[in-house]
Structure 1
Amino acid sequence: MFEQLTQLVQQYSGDTVVKNEAVPNEHNEAVITETSNSIFDGLKKIASEGGTEQLAALFNGSAPVNSSNPVVQKITEQLSGTLGNKFGISSETSSGVAASLIPQVLNSLVNKAKDPKDSSFQISDIISSITGNSGQASGIMDAISKYGTQFGLDQNNDGKIDEADVAAIAKKGGLGGLFGRLFSK
């Protein structure tokens, strides 16, 4: 998973890192790797500290993946400090890099994990990677299913949210159509 995550960070780092004159060119690859490390380690830390509901909200889409999301905030703060300490990048630049990259990469990661047509990331694989296949993995997956069920995402009423549910939602007009039906009542 880490290699795929690094490729995702590379995809979004063009303007933020590579073309950013405040980030010395000799540090570009290291900054990209450090961003991947911060995301992976940050998710692991949140899981180990009992952030099950935060991670579930992130991966089931019930919380926006932006600067107000607690997961995004924690990882952004971690990366910002690390870039300054390891590479001597100013706090303004390191904060800007982190604030730009983390929401973009996490949003893309979540969207890829939820897309049944994209097998590059699977929610279950991500959760297993960040929890080390511990009992936390089942807790996070249970929370994702619980909250997804509450929001009407369990389309086939089998008690879990999976690719069959995503396909059913897509057939019915996607999440926009689902939310339209939910809130029009």
Structure 2
Amino acid sequence: MFEQLTQLVQQYGNSAVVNNDAVPNEQNEAVISETSNSIFAGLQKIASEGGGEQLASLFSGKSSIDSSNPVVQQITQQLSGTLGQKFGLSSDTSSGVASGMIPQILSSLVNKAKDPNDSSFQISDIIGSLTNSGQASGIMETINKYGMQFGLDQNADGKVDVADVMVITKTKGGIAGFIGKLFGSK
């Protein structure tokens, strides 16, 4: 998973790092590498500190992946501090790089994990790589539980996954139908 995460960071690193005059060119690669490390370490820290609900919310798509998301906030703050310490970047530059990349990278990570046509990221593999097996199963149970409570197991396989989203979006009025089902309207 770390390699795929690094590829996402490199993809989004152009505008925030490479094309940023405030980041010296000789530090571009190291800043991008540190961003990958910080995201992975930040997600691991959240999981190890009992943040299963936050991760479940992130990967289930129930929370927006922007600066208001607690996971995004925590990782952005951590990365910003690290970039200032390790590379001597100003707080404005560090904050700009972190806030410019973290929401995009996490959003892309979640979207790829939910895409049935993209096998490079699987939610269970992501959660497994961030946690020990007990934590991983707890987070996956939380994702499943909330989906089951909303009646989202459309194909009756006992779990809520991308296949269920596809059934709802095809048969119940597209994504609007899925959102309506999620919030209890018919």
TM-score, normalization by structure 1: 0.93
Separation in 1 of the partners of 2:150 and 2:40?
Answer: 28
Per the alignment, residue 91 of structure 2 pairs with 91
Unaligned regions of 5+ residues in structure 2, if any? none
Separation in 1 of the partners of 2:80 and 2:119?
Answer: 30
Per the alignment, residue 73 of structure 2 pairs with 73
Per the alignment, residue 112 of structure 1 pairs with 112
Contact 2:22 / 2:93 at 8 angstroms: preserved in 1? yes
Separation in 1 of the partners of 2:6 and 2:174?
Answer: 29
Unaligned regions of 5+ residues in structure 1, if any? none
* Residue 82 (structure 1) aligned with residue 87 (structure 2): no
Separation in 2 of the partners of 1:116 and 1:36?
Answer: 24
* Residue 159 (structure 1) aligned with residue 151 (structure 2): no
Separation in 1 of the partners of 2:167 and 2:35?
Answer: 35
Distance 1:75 1:34, change over 3 A: same
Separation in 2 of the partners of 1:109 and 1:174?
Answer: 23
Separation in 1 of the partners of 2:42 and 2:6?
Answer: 14
Separation in 1 of the partners of 2:104 and 2:19?
Answer: 17
Deviations 1:33-57 (A, max 9, x none): 1111111100100000000100000
Separation in 2 of the partners of 1:58 and 1:136?
Answer: 16
Separation in 2 of the partners of 1:29 and 1:169?
Answer: 43
Contact 2:168 / 2:178 at 8 angstroms: preserved in 1? yes
Separation in 2 of the partners of 1:102 and 1:163?
Answer: 24
Equivalences for 1:1-185 in 2 at 5 Å? Answer: 1-132=1-132, 134-172=133-171, 173-180=173-180, 184-185=185-186
Q: Which runs of 4+ in 1 moved over 3 A?
A: 180-185
* Count of residues in correspondence between the two structures: 184
Separation in 2 of the partners of 1:158 and 1:93?
Answer: 48
Contact 1:116 / 1:167 at 8 angstroms: preserved in 2? no
Deviations 1:63-119 (A, max 9, x none): 111111110000000000000000000000000110110000000000000111111
User: 1:184 Cα deviation (Å)?
Assistant: 4.6
* SS of the residue 2:153 aligns to: coil
Give the % identical residues.
Answer: 73
Distance 1:177 1:45, change over 3 A: same
Contact 2:56 / 2:142 at 8 angstroms: preserved in 1? yes
User: 1:159 Cα deviation (Å)?
Assistant: 2.7
Contact 1:116 / 1:166 at 8 angstroms: preserved in 2? no
* SS of the residue 1:13 aligns to: helix
